[in-house]
Amino acid sequence: MRYGFEGSWNRLKPALPGRSLTYILFLILHSSLFTLHSLAQPGTWHLHPSYRSAQTVAAVQNRIYCASENGFFSYDPTANEATRLSRDDGFSETGVSQLAYLADQKRLLIGYRSGTLDLLTVSDAGEPVDVKTITLIRDATQITGSKRIHLLTRTGTDAYLACDFGIVVLDVTKTEIRDTYRNIGPNGTSVAVYATAFANDSIYAATSRGLLAARFAPSVNLAFFGSWKTVPLPPGAPVRSVVGVGNQVYVAVPGQGVAQRQGGRWVVIQSIPAITGLLPTATEWVATAPDQLLRPSGGLLQNALVGEPKEIVEAAGSFWVADSLSGLLRITGTTVQAVSPDGPASDVFQQLASVGPMAQMLALPGGFTDELKPLRRRRGFDRFQQGRWQNVLTTSLPTDFSTAVYNPTDQRTYLGSFGGGLWSYSGENPPEVVNRALANISSLTVDPNGELWLATPSLNVGQTTVSVRRKTGQFDPFTPSRGDVQQLLIADNGFVWMRLSPANGGGMQVFDPATNRTRLLYDQLGEGGLPDRNVRAMVRDRDGLIWVGTDNGVAVFDNPMAVFTGTVTAYRPIFDRNRLLSGESVTALAVDGGNRKWIGTVNGLYLFNEDGTVLIDHFTSQNSPLPSSQIRALAIEPTNGEVFIATTSGLVSYGGTASEPVPVFAGITIFPNPVRPDFGGLVSVRGLVENTVVKIMDAGGQLVYETRSQGGMATWNLRDYRGRAAETGIYFVFAVTADGKEGLAGKLAVVR
């Protein structure tokens, strides 16, 4: 047996008495050999929100706080540093919709889309100290529907919260809800309130039923709809914003400019024909137009970074803009700087792809609906590598990438787009066009010979819908019997499996390019036996079996080579005495290095064992950091086993406990190493061959733990067979092949 680590057990054991344990731990703690921060920690979650969709901003002492649709962060202007904030820092939820600083109390009020309120006490420098949470709005059973908090307007000791169900009055000194105004629309109808403003002796509310106003006085019952009157607006004026500044009220009038309420009528006081909105600051209004911000004194800024401003504050000699396209902007004079943390450009992705040997994950914005139309259009795609996100742009024209695959033969990533053809990407230079003529590409895959297969869906009979790009660069066309191909998969024997559009009858077809045979598979016994014709996902596992996700659970084709002979009926794994996920719509499938099945549905994410009979984990938005239980796409980075999950409300990743096995031992990685006192997760051993036996021994030579690898990874929960926590010391890790002929050894330091 050989060991690929510095020193075997026999060489290390005698050295222990001659050196103090403290000295040995010191050496390991300061050795870069044992620190690999880029690895995903098994069993832990990582949020990947877009910080560009900024919605709200607040100046808090010496810091700026900003929230996007799913992200939250603070920015230190002096240090030019952004700090990400999340539930791990004590905040209640994700989905911040409103920030407002209560300067006299040094507290930041944080409103969420759910109706939850956090009151964050800050230090003199604006750093978080502690959080108090108010859930009265969120938990109010008498309020149905959305409880989103849109905007906060403060007067005296009261904060008026504009919500999707009405107005909530919060006493900020007593930290209690003093009143709620619901059903204040005409004749007592329910209205959503987007903003409130105070001017003269009145309170104004921009609502889903127009602009409402009431006299603001102690004698007026604002909870009574009769106290509120509809204020006529200029033709085409928006009702989602109303601004009160200097005891005057203003609105934006499309095509005209800023209008002020004077003597019971609206007067345009500043002409801005291209006006798109109106924002309040502490001292003035700011109008928005394409690439522009304007204020009463004239122009403030004209810059292409200004996309869709949502809020603006002035602090530290700069204007700070929450822009839903560009993130947090710092405007100093005529200089504009985007200062949001790095992250994907969007929270909505239709496909994920793990590409290349350098642990790259691509998040693709484009996709095909059942009608074979794109869901959205954007420039480029997002790449995650070594813990950082980068938005990779193509040209000035939108390119809606919908699929990607890595070809190890030429070491390039190929991307298919809707309307932009086929592209290739090396990871260094911008993507390059390979073939513009292939307009709409729904799927790409690479066969064992290193040749690229493409699906170009069409409902026209006889049109080429599948092509292969040979190594020479030549494209060879094929015309299967059905052309509405949404996904391609190459079986071990070279047959091409295709997922078909549910909008055109659904089902699947298998194509043999050697003979041009095609077989359609549906839900009839003997003709596929699918649980449902609507097929949403398809994947080949490590044993060559084809797993299929439908609107009625999962099916498996366990003999793909015999698909053209006789009857074909997929089998359905049995779990908990039922067909696997029967009745659930399965939207995404992925196979990890241990051949375990990750299954995304509209009701959460499941992890099953290799044959689908044992449930290992079930994650939902209620029991995990998933921003939504509706899963859109899955992809697993093979080297470290990190599982990326695209939901309808954002992107997250999970440190998996399985990775792709290596073909032969070359060296093992133990992470984290050393284990520090505050660590409570799983230690992972990586770089293993299939079915490796891993033994962990203490310094006295006693066996502490033994397990087998899941693919190329094994994990230890830092407890022995009796459940006792590992004590401070040096532990030795032995990894041995299943036949016992090869092995590696490593050291692990545990500090408690």
Q: What are the boundaries of each domain within the chain?
A: 9-42+667-750, 138-231, 356-578
Strand 527-528 to 568-569 pairing:
parallel
Token duo for residue 681:
């997760």
| Cβ contact 636:616 at 8 Å | no
Instruction: Using the structure block, give the residue that is written with the tokens 């009701």.
Output: 603
Provide CATH code, domain 9-42+667-750: 2.60.40.1930
| Cβ contact 155:163 at 8 Å | no
Long-range Cβ pairs for the range 4-8 (8 Å, 24+)? 4/665, 4/666, 4/667, 4/668, 4/744, 4/745, 5/667, 5/668, 5/744, 5/745, 5/746, 5/747, 7/745, 8/745
Q: What are phi and psi of 87, to 5 degrees?
A: -60, -25
* Span 356-578 CATH architecture: 7 Propeller (2.130)
Q: What local confidence, expressed as pLDDT, does residue 397 receive?
A: 58
Distances (CA, A) of 601 to 371, 576, 613, 636: 21, 18, 17, 17
Q: What local confidence, expressed as pLDDT, does residue 372 receive?
A: 36
| Cβ contact 397:421 at 8 Å | no
Strand runs (DSSP E) across 306-463, as ranges? 309-315, 318-323, 327-332, 335-338, 351-355, 360-364, 381-385, 388-392, 400-407, 412-418, 422-425, 432-435, 443-446, 452-455
Q: What are phi and psi of 246, to 5 degrees?
A: 55, 40
Positions of the chain with pLDDT under 70: 1-39, 299-300, 366-379, 395-398
How far, in Å, CA of 291 to CA of 300, rounded? 11
Task: Please give the model's pTM, rounded to 2 decimal places.
Answer: 0.87
- What strand order describes the sheet that includes 277-280? 277-280, 285-289, 292-295, 298-302
What is 138-231's CATH topology?
A: Thrombin, subunit H (2.40.10)
How far, in Å, CA of 183 to CA of 164, rounded? 11
How far, in Å, CA of 640 to CA of 501, rounded? 33
Give 710's DSSP letter: B
By the 10 Å C-beta count (0-12 exposed, 13-18 middle, 19+ buried), 469 is classed as: buried
Q: What local confidence, expressed as pLDDT, does residue 239 receive?
A: 86
Q: Identify any residues that bridge with 318 across adjacent strands, giving them in sequence order.
A: 315
